[in-house]
């Protein structure tokens, strides 16, 4: 058998300018096998908790990676809420699109990522499923007057983070991406048929690579530590401060009779000096 046909991934590493996410798999998966496509998320049945939780973690990882790869000193995190009740997803998206076009006419070509959410408390008072609002990160590395944002958004604008600081108490936020991901819950997955997050064109993505291992039998995998990729990996790890670890348990993507345990470690590059 050709060695290339027998290569599996023991871990996936995602690199951004400031942060690293390392996912280590209990059961390596064969490279080249088709993975789930988050662009086509379907409604997840409430009883299928493991699949829903897996999708939640993977979606959070994707969003976290995009945010980490595009943050600038002047990035902003806002919540845009409508004054009237908007229950239709497409109506809300059209309003967002009109807002971005209006900002472009003001010479601000907004680079963004937004997450949709329903206002459950408002819905309980109004007797509906909850008006839609958006949590949005603006990546533009420039000063944008909030008078202009408020001028073109028909509703309320709540500021959470401005220039890396919490808006209400000026507290430094060292991990903006994790802060934003707190707003991503299982309800987001259940409430929207299409992707509940969207980002503008041209945003950077994390650089990703796999740690290869080679299958001997169903229970044995070996790594060729002489490969350059392992030297690169060890160099990266030696320059990280790990600040968070998650453990994900879910049915194995290609064999539902087995449980895949994934250890997800979040690291930040050490600062010089």
* CATH code where residue 128 lies: 3.30.70
Task: Tell whether 35 and 140 lie within a shared domain.
Answer: no
**Residue 55 covered by a domain:** no
pLDDT at 55 over 80: no
Spatial distance between the Cα atoms of 79 and 68, rounded to a whole number of angstroms: 19
Task: Tell whether 193 and 224 lie within a shared domain.
Answer: no
Q: Which of 199, 216, 234 is the last residue of a domain?
A: 199
Domain with 169, as residue range(s), is 69-199
Task: Tell whether 152 and 227 lie within a shared domain.
Answer: no
**Residue 167 covered by a domain:** yes
- Coil, helix or strand for 154? coil
Average pLDDT over residues 181-197: 75
pLDDT at 41 over 60: no
Domain count, the chain: 2
Spatial distance between the Cα atoms of 76 and 161, rounded to a whole number of angstroms: 5
Task: Tell whether 234 and 254 lie within a shared domain.
Answer: yes
- Nearest-CA neighbor of 69 among 6, 5, 17? 17
pLDDT at 15 over 50: yes
Question: With bands split at pLDDT 50, 70 and 90, how would you rate the model's confidence at 242?
Answer: very high
Task: Tell whether 190 and 234 lie within a shared domain.
Answer: no
**Residue 64 covered by a domain:** no
**Residue 73 covered by a domain:** yes
- Nearest-CA neighbor of 177 among 21, 25, 51? 21
Q: Which of 183, 199, 215 is the last residue of a domain?
A: 199
Task: Tell whether 39 and 74 lie within a shared domain.
Answer: no
Spatial distance between the Cα atoms of 154 and 260, rounded to a whole number of angstroms: 46
Question: With bands split at pLDDT 50, 70 and 90, how would you rate the model's confidence at 59?
Answer: confident
Task: Tell whether 193 and 234 lie within a shared domain.
Answer: no
pLDDT, tens digit (0-9, with 9 covering 90-100), for 152-174: 998 888 888 776 667 776 666 76
Instruction: For the chain, give the percent of residues with pLDDT over 70.
Output: 84
**Residue 52 covered by a domain:** no
Task: Tell whether 29 and 99 lie within a shared domain.
Answer: no
- Adjacent-strand bridge partners of 222: 214
pLDDT at 194 over 60: no
Q: Which of 174, 199, 224 is the last residue of a domain?
A: 199
pLDDT, tens digit (0-9, with 9 covering 90-100), for 244-266: 898 988 787 667 778 889 999 98
Number of helices followed by number of strands (H, E) in the chain: 7, 12
pTM: 0.76
Task: Tell whether 193 and 252 lie within a shared domain.
Answer: no
Question: Rounded to a whole number, what is the largest CA-CA distance in the chain?
Answer: 65
Task: Tell whether 100 and 32 lie within a shared domain.
Answer: no
Average pLDDT over residues 114-119: 91
Instruction: For the chain, give the percent of residues with pLDDT over 90.
Output: 43
- Nearest-CA neighbor of 237 among 268, 206, 207? 268
Task: Tell whether 107 and 137 lie within a shared domain.
Answer: yes
Whether residue 12 contacts residue 23, with contact meaning beta carbons closer than 8 Å, is answered with: yes
**Residue 59 covered by a domain:** no
pLDDT at 36 over 50: no
Task: Tell whether 188 and 264 lie within a shared domain.
Answer: no
Helix intervals (H) in the chain = 49-70, 89-105, 120-126, 146-152, 176-181, 186-191, 228-238
**Residue 56 covered by a domain:** no
């Amino acid at each position: 058998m050709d060695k290339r046909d027998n290569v599996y991934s023991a871990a996936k590493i995602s690199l951004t300018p400031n942060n690293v996410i390392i996912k280590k798999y209990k059961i390596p998966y064969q490279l080249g096998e088709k993975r789930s496509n988050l662009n086509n998320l379907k409604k997840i049945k409430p009883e299928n908790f493991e699949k829903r939780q897996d999708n939640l973690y993977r979606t959070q990882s994707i969003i976290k990676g995009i945010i980490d790869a595009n943050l600038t000193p002047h990035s902003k995190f806002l919540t845009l809420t409508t004054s009237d009740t908007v229950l239709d997803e497409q109506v809300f998206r059209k309003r967002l699109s009109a807002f971005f076009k209006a900002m472009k006419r003001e010479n601000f070509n907004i680079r963004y990522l937004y997450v949709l959410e329903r206002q459950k408390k408002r819905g309980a008072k109004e007797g509906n499923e909850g008006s839609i609002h958006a949590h949005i990160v603006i990546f533009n590395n420039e000063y944008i007057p909030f008078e202009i944002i408020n001028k073109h958004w028909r509703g309320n604008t709540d500021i959470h983070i401005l220039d890396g600081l919490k808006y209400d108490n000026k507290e430094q936020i060292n991990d903006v991406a994790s802060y934003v991901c707190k707003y991503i819950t299982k309800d987001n997955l259940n409430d929207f048929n299409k992707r509940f997050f969207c980002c503008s064109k041209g945003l950077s993505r994390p650089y990703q690579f796999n740690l290869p291992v080679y299958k001997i039998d169903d229970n044995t995998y070996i790594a060729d530590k002489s490969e350059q990729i392992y030297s690169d990996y060890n160099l990266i790890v030696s320059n990280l401060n790990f600040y968070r670890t998650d453990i994900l348990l879910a049915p194995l993507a290609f064999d539902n009779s087995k449980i895949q345990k994934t250890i997800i470690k979040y690291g930040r590059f050490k600062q010089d000096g």
